[in-house]
Structure 1
Amino acid sequence: MNGLVASDGVTPLNEYCSAYAGGGNGFGDQMKNWFPANKSADAALLPVLETANARADDLVRNNAIAHGGVQMHMDNVVGSLFRPSYRLNYKLLGMEEKSARDFMKEAECAFIEYAESPFCYIDAERKRTFTMLVRAIAAAHCHHGEGMAASEWINRPGALFKTAVKLVSPKRVSNPNGKMSNNRLRGGVAVDRHNCALGYWVKQDAYNEYGALDSYGGKWKYVSREAKWGRTKFIHVFEPLEAGQTRGANLLLSMMQQMQSLSTLQNTTLQNAIINAMYAAVIESELDSEQAFQLISGESGADQMQKWMSYMGEYHSAANIRMNGARIPHLVPGEKLKFTQSTNANNGFTDLEASMLRFIASGFGMSYEQIARDYSKVNYSSARASFNESFRYTMGKRKVIAARFASLVFANWLEEALHRRILVAPRSRYNFYERREAWTRCEWIGAGRLSIDGLKEVKEAILRIESGLSTYEKELALMGEDYIEVFEQQAREIEERKAKGLPPPSWVLAMGFDAANQDNGGTQQNAA
Structure 2
Amino acid sequence: MKMPDISFLDSSGRPIQKAESYTGTGTGFGGQLQRWNPRAKTADAALLPDLKRGNARAEDLVRNHALAKNGVQLHVDNIVGHMFRLSYKPKWRALGMSEEDARAFAKEVEDAFTEYAEDPINCYVDAERKRTLTMMCREITANHTSAGEGMASAEWITGRPGALFNTAIKLVNHHRVCNPNHAPDSNSLRAGVKVDRFGAAVGYWVRNHDITGYGLSDGMGNAWTFVPRETRWGRQQFLHVFEPRGDGQTRGENQFLSVMEQLPQLSKLQQTKLQNAIVNAMYAAVIESELGSEAAMEIIGGDLSTDKLTQYMSTLADYHEGADIRLNGVKIPHLMPGENLNLLTSGNADNGFSELESSITRWIAAGTNTSKESLTKDYRELSYSTARASMMESWRYFMGRRKIIPSRFASMVFALWLEEAIDSGRIRLPRSATRGFYEAKASWCNCEWIGSGRIAIDGLKEVKESILLIESGLSTYEKELAKMGEDYQEVFAQQVREMEERKKAGLPPPSWVKALALAPDQEEPEAVGGVS
TM-score of the superposition, structure 2-length normalised?
A: 0.87
What residue number does 1:430 align with? 435
Q: Does 1:458 align with 2:459?
A: no
2:410 aligned to which of 406, 421, 436: 406
Q: Does 1:375 align with 2:379?
A: yes
What is the distance in 2 between the residues matched to 1:169 and 1:254? Answer: 23
1:176 aligned to which of 161, 177, 180: 180
Pairwise CA distance, 1:307: 9.6
Is contact 2:453–2:482 with CA below 8 Å preserved after alignment?
yes
Is contact 1:391–1:449 with CA below 8 Å preserved after alignment?
yes
Q: Does 1:229 align with 2:230?
A: no
What residue number does 2:129 align with? 126
Partner letter of residue 130 of structure 1? L
Pairwise CA distance, 1:22: 0.8
What residue number does 1:26 align with? 28
Question: Aligned to 1:406, what secondary structure does the other structure show?
Answer: helix
Pairwise CA distance, 1:339: 3.3
Kindly provide the CA deviation profile for residues 52-76 of structure 1, in whole angstroms up to 9, marking residues without a partner as x: 1111111111111111111111001
Question: Aligned to 1:204, what secondary structure does the other structure show?
Answer: strand
> Structure 1's 336 and 104: CA in aligned 2 closer, same or farther, altered over 3 A?
same
Pairwise CA distance, 1:280: 1.9
Q: Does 1:186 align with 2:190?
A: yes
Alignment of 1:7-406 (within 5 A): 16-119=18-121, 120-155=123-158, 156-206=160-210, 209-211=213-215, 218-277=222-281, 279-283=282-286, 319-320=320-321, 325-328=330-333, 330=335, 336-344=341-349, 346-406=350-410
TM-score of the superposition, structure 1-length normalised?
A: 0.88
Is contact 2:90–2:445 with CA below 8 Å preserved after alignment?
yes
Counting aligned pairs with the same residue, the percent is 51
Is contact 1:89–1:439 with CA below 8 Å preserved after alignment?
yes
Question: Aligned to 1:43, what secondary structure does the other structure show?
Answer: helix
Kindly provide the CA deviation profile for residues 207-228 of structure 1, in whole angstroms up to 9, marking residues without a partner as x: 6514466699710000011111
Pairwise CA distance, 1:355: 1.1
Pairwise CA distance, 1:347: 2.4
Question: Aligned to 1:426, what secondary structure does the other structure show?
Answer: coil
Question: Aligned to 1:38, what secondary structure does the other structure show?
Answer: coil
What is the distance in 2 between the residues matched to 1:22 and 1:289? Answer: 71
Kindly provide the CA deviation profile for residues 338-358 of structure 1, in whole angstroms up to 9, marking residues without a partner as x: 3315522x3221221111111
Is contact 1:172–1:206 with CA below 8 Å preserved after alignment?
no
Pairwise CA distance, 1:153: 1.1
Is contact 2:209–2:219 with CA below 8 Å preserved after alignment?
no
Unpaired segments ≥5 residues, structure 2 = 295-303, 523-532
Residue-pair matches, total: 505
Is contact 2:242–2:251 with CA below 8 Å preserved after alignment?
yes
> Structure 1's 422 and 340: CA in aligned 2 closer, same or farther, altered over 3 A?
same
> Structure 1's 260 and 496: CA in aligned 2 closer, same or farther, altered over 3 A?
same
Pairwise CA distance, 1:512: 4.1
Kindly provide the CA deviation profile for residues 423-476 of structure 1, in whole angstroms up to 9, marking residues without a partner as x: 112022111111100000000000011000000110011001101111111101
What is the distance in 1 between the residues matched to 2:179 and 2:308? Answer: 68
Kindly provide the CA deviation profile for residues 250-306 of structure 1, in whole angstroms up to 9, marking residues without a partner as x: 1011111100100000000001111221x2234276999999xxxxxxxxxxx9899
2:424 aligned to which of 409, 420, 424: 420
Is contact 2:176–2:220 with CA below 8 Å preserved after alignment?
no
* Alignment RMSD: 3.2
What is the distance in 1 between the residues matched to 2:270 and 2:261? Answer: 14
What is the distance in 2 between the residues matched to 1:183 and 1:61? Answer: 35
Unpaired segments ≥5 residues, structure 1 = 292-302, 519-528
Question: Aligned to 2:239, what secondary structure does the other structure show?
Answer: strand
What is the distance in 2 between the residues matched to 1:237 and 1:316? Answer: 75
What is the distance in 2 between the residues matched to 1:108 and 1:29? Answer: 63
Partner letter of residue 91 of structure 1? R
* Higher share in helix: 1
What is the distance in 2 between the residues matched to 1:311 and 1:198? Answer: 89
What is the distance in 1 between the residues matched to 2:14 and 2:76? Answer: 52
Is contact 1:177–1:215 with CA below 8 Å preserved after alignment?
no
Pairwise CA distance, 1:5: 8.2
